[in-house]
Amino acid sequence: MRYSWLTGLAALLMLSPVHAQQSAPAHVGIPVLVPITGFLSLEGTSQRNGAVLAIRNAPPNLRVQYDVVDTSVSPEGAVNALERALDRGSVSAVVASMLGTQMLAMLPIALERKVPLITVSGTAQITEMGNPYVFRFFPGDDVTKVAHVRYAVEELGLRRLALVYQTTAYGQSGRRHIVENLAKHGLSPVFEEALEVQVRDMLPVLSKAMAANPDGILIHLHSGPTALFIRQAAAMGVGIPIIAGSAMHQPPTAALLEPEELRGVCAEANASPVSGGTPEMERFLQQYREMFSVEPDGFALGQYDGTMMVLEAVSKGARTAAEVARALADMRYEGIAMTYKSDGRGNMAHSAVIMCFDGRTRVPKVVKRYDNITGALTP
């Protein structure tokens, strides 16, 4: 009788939640809702890969459940995907589209359902709406364009800069921040022009830019146009530095150009994973190549770091989505690309790097690092 009482007590203890918490892996639901098709598919695929690799590297005390859903590029596609994912079961956080219009559509749902959205979207507005459930792990233009302009002006000593940017929201935002930062140095562009994404021939804009006698060119273009611009510049032999936006750091962009065409070209980004540099970065690079058979970019790394931060929050005890959101808002996380901490609005990334190509390979070297540009990391 006494024996059976002890056995019963032991069984009760084994089934208790306390015991389950100590031994059974905690459940984490992280739907990955990103644009895998449509015009942002290159970046969306990087986002997916980064998140999936992070989930594969989840701490052993976690059991992660995830689905990848293609949101394409319509806001309603993203909203439907989010609602379906939330209705399916317990969700700790959502890897959410980097497309700003989709994020804006998803934000009210995240607020209503108290679920954090983890993204690498560059759209400034998403963290300006007072929504405590959005966390951006890629530096916005308020960070990257500071590095872009400071490198050109302070490191290269350029004073007469031409500016070529895209007509899209991405391009307009970059242009605004570049012009503002140039003004802080007492400068304004000697030439500026916006290009549509469909523009094929860069000779006219380059001819006009060179006619303004610049000593350097800042470009803020998407991947294809960046490669077209740099190829045309090489063919013309412009002979002045070109400092590009983050599209140039993406390996598929560099793959479109011959190494010689890239000589003297620099670019800003959150990081340059293909350049390696630290043991953690090298490990990430190797795993990424093995798993996806492509080269990673900064978007993949940003999403990897963001997802790992979520997993660490859950591993340390955050159980509900609201608890994960609170942890993300309060934690400081040492990622592979940089140190992440919320500025109180969900902007987690505050550093940028400048990388340059030497004309011999398509792998750039990081030449300058700008940390804590916003000051959010300062205790």
Residues that bind another protein (CB under 8 A): 36-39, 41-42, 44-45, 167, 193-196, 198-201, 203-205, 207-208, 211, 223-224, 227-228, 235-236, 250, 252-253, 255-256, 258, 294
CB 58 within 8 A of CB 311: yes
Closest approach, Cβ 125 to another protein, in A, equals 23
- Closer to another protein at the Cβ: 148 or 222? 222
Smaller CB distance to another protein: residue 23 or 198?
Answer: 198
361 near 259, Cβ under 8 Å? yes
Check: CB of residue 263 under 8 Å from CB of residue 359: yes
> Nearer to another protein by C-beta: 195 or 355?
195
Q: Which is nearer to another protein, 40 or 95 (CB)?
A: 40
Length of the chain counted residue by residue: 379
Closer Cβ to another protein, 38 or 359, answer by number: 38
CA 362, CA 379: separation in Å to the nearest integer? 38
Minimum CB distance to another protein smaller for 52 or for 338: 52
Query: Alpha-carbon distance 373 to 351, whole Å?
Result: 6
For residue 136, the minimal CB distance to another protein (Å) is 22
User: How many other C-beta atoms lie within 10 A of the C-beta of residue 41?
Assistant: 16
Among candidates 120, 65, 71, 128, which has minimal Cα distance to 98?
120
Question: Cα(4)–Cα(39) distance, rounded to whole angstroms?
Answer: 67
Rounded least distance, CB 34 to another protein, Å: 12
Q: Position 27: which residue type?
A: H
Of the two residues 110 and 254, which places its CB atom closer to another protein in the complex? Answer: 254
SS3 98: coil
User: Residue 195 CB, nearest distance to another protein (Å)?
Assistant: 5
Q: How far is the CB of 28 from another protein (least distance, A)?
A: 28
Between 39 and 359, CB nearer to another protein: 39
Place of tokens 């359902």: 113
* CA proximity to 49, closest of 289, 231, 278, 238: 289
Q: Do 272 and 353 form a contact (C-beta atoms < 8 A)? A: yes
Lookup result for tokens 């609602």:
83
CA pair distance 195, 168, nearest whole angstrom = 9
User: Smallest distance from the beta carbon of 118 to another protein, in angstroms?
Assistant: 21
- In the complex, least distance from residue 261 CB atom to another protein, rounded to whole angstroms: 10
Minimum distance of another protein from residue 18's CB (angstroms):
47
